[in-house]
Chains A and B, each alone.
Chain A
């Protein structure tokens, strides 16, 4: 019974964190839209937009998807996914390099 009460307290604390994360996500959305109207250079605009999107994505993954306190098996799957995702993202630059070599 005591353990159950402890769990309930912990869940209630978490719900307060969820609301705070929601606030942060909403503010960051408005920031990313505002920044897009500042006429930054394309590389700078891409950098800023991706940094903000990464912060938002991390908040969703860490708190809503509970990755902040997950088991090792899940982290193992995710590390492998990140490695293959990085390979996928690097293929366009490999292609560009290959085209330069052929010229």
Chain B
């Protein structure tokens, strides 16, 4: 038995099922990160003094570079989906490969930042700012890692589906892309909140 509405839109929702599913998942993700942002506001407004990210040794140039890398990965991700829509599989592989490499670059820079913090004895237990910094960036980093695993699967073994059912494969990449763009969107707010304010 075939799974229904993997390609054609479901009549009552107007979208294929996986797209509705990923948006419902992203809604739950908004609440997850929203709860942490809300905690950040509560901690910051309740504290007698709040340090600037730079005072806690956060590197603005590295974080700026990471922002640019993640934005680049978002554009390569959407270009990989567009390549599939244009039936250009080689270009898809190129753009998806670049997306994974950007994710890897982001994680490498993040690990450099983390190791610098630990070397200078800055841990989550050191103060409230670092506790919320490690919680937010750590959870975000796990999301990047999760996205890289999914994208890696679609770059490699998962790409076989393109030969059998190209429309369904393009829809899968669209769904993976929606998740990846959400991860980028979260970072767009995390960057100024933690590093610049």
Residues in chain A within 8 A of chain B (CB atoms): 7-8, 11-12, 14-15, 18-19, 21-22, 25-26, 29-30, 32-33, 36, 42, 45-46, 49-50, 52-53, 56-57, 60-61, 63-65, 71-74, 77-78, 80-81, 84-85, 88-89, 91-92, 95-96
Q: How far, in whole Å, are A32 and B190 apart by their CA atoms in the complex?
A: 13
Considering only residues 67-88 of chain B, those with a C-beta below 8 Å from chain A are 67-68, 71-72, 74-75, 77-79, 82, 85-86
Stretch from B20-28, B119-127, B144-152, B158-166 that touches the partner: B20-28
- How many residue pairs, one in A and one in B, have C-beta atoms under 8 Å apart? 124
By a CB distance below 8 angstroms, the chain A residues around B31 are 81, 84-85, 88
A77 contacts B23, C-beta separation under 8 Å? yes
Interface flag for B118 (CB, 8 Å): no
B29-47 interface bits toward A, Cβ cutoff 8 Å, 1 = contact, 0 = none: 0110011011001100110
Say yes or no: A92 contacts B60, CB within 8 Å: no
Contact check, A36 vs B38: say whether CB atoms are below 8 A apart.
no
Q: A64-B77, A77-B24 are in contact. List 18 more A-B contacts (CB 8 A).
A: A11-B85, A15-B82, A18-B82, A22-B72, A25-B71, A29-B67, A33-B196, A36-B60, A49-B192, A56-B188, A60-B74, A60-B184, A64-B78, A71-B15, A73-B20, A88-B37, A89-B37, A91-B38
Chain B interfacial positions (CB closer than 8 Å to A): 9, 12-15, 19-20, 23-24, 27, 30-31, 34-35, 37-38, 41-42, 45-46, 60, 64, 67-68, 71-72, 74-75, 77-79, 82, 85-86, 177-178, 181-182, 184-185, 188-189, 191-193, 196-197
